[in-house]
Amino acid sequence: MPAKIAEFTQSNVSVPKMGHARDLWEKLETRQARIGVVGLGYVGLPLAVEYAQRGFPTLGIDLNRERVLRLNAGANYIQDIDDASIKTIVESGTFVAEDDFSASGTVDVFFICVPTPVTAHKDPDTSYISSAAQAIAAHIRPGQLIILKSTTYPDTTEGLVKPILEKEAAKHGMQLGVDFFLAFSPERIDPGNTQFTTANTPIVVGGVTQACTELACMAMKQVVAHVHPVSSPKVAEMEKLLENTFRSVNIALVNELARLCDRMGGISIWEVIEAAATKPFGYMPFFPGPGLGGHCIPIDPYYLSWLARRYDFETSFITLSARINEEMPFYVLDAVIRCLAHQPVRMEDAKILILGVAFKKDVDDIRHSPALKVIELLYNKGITHIEYSDPHVPALRVETGKGDLEMKSIPLSESMLQRYQAVVILTQHSAFPYAMIAEHARAIVDTRNAMQHIPHNRDKVMLLGGGEF
């Protein structure tokens, strides 16, 4: 068992005595190192802002030309970033965005923050990582540090990125760990979380060599308070998958229990969870819902199962949990149909209002949102009169298999609520007027327990996981 590695501080690590490692260390200490961030989405842009705000000259690279133009004009498109922050760093000259890699040779520390989706067959798609690594390799020079932050499977850093960089570096007589450096440090962004941000969320770092680890920790320490080094990129890569698979498995557990409570009748999973949470040890509350969304939790279990197959190992428990979570939109469809069965209306004539299409509360992120699947299922079932309201998502496109639905958010009003046979709460945004909804909606399918504090009109509410309609 390897010795425990202490949290990184500049005082408990020896400064490199010579060479490119020392040069880079000194650039980081004096904030002269130029930072390059590849991928300016929910992970990359907040990271770039942190470095630019601390005075590091920062280059953001994104192939989306519209994003680049907006940023260079001082305009923001990420909800978790203050609009004024973008304007300030652009006007001060500490940040500039580009849509190509032509200036890559001037960068000292690269962060790769590109998407890592799965294919239609649930296999990892690392094409964005490969493309970024190849573009960086084309401009590689001595003294550069490359840190992969995209969530991925163990051995991506060493098995995919490292060979790409080494192949080009070898042409210039450069050696990994001596002339250039490589590490993995998984992102820990939680969209909409105002308590834990890029700056105050502890992060993990694993380098290919000891020098790689120390330099990557030094780079991250400039913007993150707590940096935890590990023995290798593989450990850091697996750690990230564990974080998200832990959540996936526990959410699947309560989702399955929610369906059981519903089947049994007379038991609310929400009350069960509340009661269990009174235990001060050995228990952590998780909550059911219409399915999983976001950029990590719905994806990462499949990265693990794919990896396991390469070693003739089946992650039965993890894969089953992912499937349970993926079935939840079908359970919501079932609930809506049961709700309509209590009313004198044919399914094809029913009007449905969806409340909330973002994947979580109070954000504008719709990536893998279960609302998209619920709308698709309703439409394909013949319930075609569907509208939605979401203060954070003004417009929406939903693929149905019968053509795309182009939808726009509609404002809530008393008269408007009365038009629908069912109001389906999929995201419990704080801005929704729940008392008014309870008063004027004909029937409510509540998948988030959003109506829990509304005492009146409880007879209208069908609560997923045990609730009367």
Q: Are residues 202 and 273 in the same domain?
A: no
| Contact (CB, 8 A) for 110 and 145 | yes
In Å, what is the CA distance from 426 to each residue of 31, 354, 364? 45, 7, 14
Average pLDDT, the chain: 94
Q: Could you tell me the CA-to-CA distances from 331 to 256, 393, 460 in Å, in that order?
A: 11, 24, 19
Residues 174 and 259 in one domain: no
In the 8-state DSSP scheme, what is residue 52? H
Query: Would strands 181-184 and 203-207 be described as parallel, antiparallel, or unpaired?
Result: antiparallel
How much is the average pLDDT of 26-46? 96
For residues 137 and 73, membership in a common domain is answered with yes
Long-range contacts made by residues 64-68, C-beta under 8 angstroms, separation at least 24? 64/40, 64/99, 65/99, 67/40, 67/97, 68/40, 68/97, 68/98, 68/99
Q: How many domains, in total, are found in the chain?
A: 2
Question: Which pLDDT tens digit goes with each residue over 375-420?
Answer: 999 999 999 999 999 999 999 999 998 889 999 999 999 999 999 9
Residue 4 lies in a domain: no
Give mean pLDDT, residues 305-317. Answer: 93
DSSP string for residues in 285-337 = -----S---SSSTTTHHHHHHHHHHHTT---HHHHHHHHHHHHHHHHHHHHHH
Domain boundary among 177, 206, 231: 231
In a domain, residue 275? The reply is yes
* 309 and 439 part of one domain: yes
Contact present, 81 and 45 (Cβ < 8 Å): yes
Per-residue pLDDT band for 191 (boundaries 50, 70, 90) equals confident
pLDDT digits (tens, 9 = 90+) for 111-134: 999 999 988 888 999 999 999 999
199 within a domain of the structure (yes/no): yes
* Separation CA 389–CA 105 (nearest Å): 47
Q: How large a percentage of the chain has pLDDT more than 70?
A: 97
Same domain, 313 and 419: yes
The amino acid at 319? T
Main-chain phi, psi angles of 296, to 5 degrees: -125, -60
pLDDT given at position 17: 64
Residues 281 and 203 both lie in one domain: no
Shared domain for 182 and 271, answered yes or no, is no
CATH of the domain at 182: 3.40.50.720
Q: What is the pLDDT of residues 247-296, one digit of tens each?
A: 999 999 999 999 999 999 889 999 999 999 999 999 999 999 999 998 78
Residue 11 has pLDDT above 90, yes or no: no
Model confidence at 2, in pLDDT bands (50, 70, 90)?
A: low
Going from the C-alpha of 262 to that of each of 36, 410, 467, the distances in angstroms are: 51, 31, 7
Q: Which domain holds residue 71?
A: 10-231
Rg from Cα positions in the chain: 25
| Other C-beta atoms lying within 10 Å of the C-beta of residue 298 | 22
Which structure tokens are listed for 125?
A: 């798609």
Q: 282 and 227 in one domain?
A: no
Q: What average pLDDT does this structure show over 424-438?
A: 97
Question: Residue 14's pLDDT is what?
Answer: 66
Q: Quick: pLDDT tens for 53-90.
A: 999 999 999 999 999 999 999 999 998 899 999 999 99
CA distance 71 to 304: 35
Give the pLDDT confidence score for residue 1 in this predicted structure: 44
Q: Enumerate the active-site residues.
A: 296
Residue predicted with more confidence, 401 or 25: 25
Residue 236, in any domain of the structure:
no
Last residue of a domain, one of 231, 262, 281: 231
Q: Is the domain of 224 the same as that of 282?
A: no
Closest-CA residue to 140 (of 159, 168, 162) = 168
Residue 176 in domain: yes
Instruction: Render 339-360 in DSSP notation, one character per residue.
Output: HHHTSS--GGG-EEEEE--SSS
pLDDT computed for residue 194 by the predictor:
84
The reply to whether 239 falls in a domain is no
Mean pLDDT across 291-309: 89
Q: Is the Cβ–Cβ distance between 407 and 388 less than 8 Å? A: yes
Burial of 22 (0-12, 13-18, 19+ CB in 10 A): middle
Res 80: pLDDT: 87
Residues 199 and 168 in one domain: yes
Asked if 196 and 339 sit in the same domain, the reply is no
Is 469 among the domain residues?
A: no
Q: Which of 231, 259, 293 is the last residue of a domain?
A: 231
Q: What is the DSSP letter of 459?
A: G
> Is 237 inside any structural domain?
no
Torsion, Cα 27 32 38 43, to 10 degrees, reads 90
pLDDT of residue 455: 92
Q: In this structure, are 270 and 396 located in the same domain?
A: yes
